[in-house]
Amino acid sequence: MEIGAMWTNVENILMQNEYQLNDLTYDEIFTKIDKNIKIKAKNASYRANNVGVHISYEDFYSYFLEAIWNGLNAFISDRNLILSHVMTHRLKIAELTVWRRNQHTGSNKDKNRITYISTRNLSLDSMELDIKY
């Protein structure tokens, strides 16, 4: 589904429910957008891996879900906003927040004295664990 059409569908669901965001409404919206949000989270994780930083898909996904919840509430409280703009903006901020959460002050060797040393470790999926039972 095209991104613009997705947000139009979400806006229609909100309109049908008289701009009330309850569990049922959120579940209906969630089923419409979940696939696209998962793709967005995977792409964000791939972008991190491309620069040598492992930030998990789950980190991005959870922050994106929170951003969607907050964005829907913001849109409901001020219907002069454009839903697609609100969501695009909040999702971008959520991605940056995940990066900032993993950012640390580095040494003079690091670009802009910023390092992501805690995320440079291998993911658990890629490690061979020697577990003996």
Q: What is the pLDDT of residue 100?
A: 83
Structure tokens given for 22: 């309850």
**In sequence order, which residues have a C-beta less than 8 Å from that of residue 29 and are 6 or more positions away?**
10, 13, 14, 72
Residue 130 maps to a domain: no
Domain count, the chain: 1
Residue 21 maps to a domain: yes
Q: What is the pLDDT of residue 4?
A: 74
| CA gap 133, 123 in Å, rounded | 22
Residue 33 maps to a domain: yes
| CA gap 92, 67 in Å, rounded | 9
Q: What is the pLDDT of residue 125?
A: 55
Residue 126 maps to a domain: no
Residue 131 maps to a domain: no
* Residue 104 backbone dihedrals phi, psi, to 5 degrees: -135, 155
Record the pTM: 0.77
Residue 113 maps to a domain: yes
| CA gap 97, 95 in Å, rounded | 5
Q: What is the pLDDT of residue 126?
A: 53
Given a cut of 50, the residues of the chain with pLDDT beneath it are: 104-107, 110-116, 120-122, 127, 129-133
Residue 132 maps to a domain: no
Q: Which domain holds residue 46?
A: 3-120
Residue 133 maps to a domain: no
Q: What is the pLDDT of residue 93?
A: 96
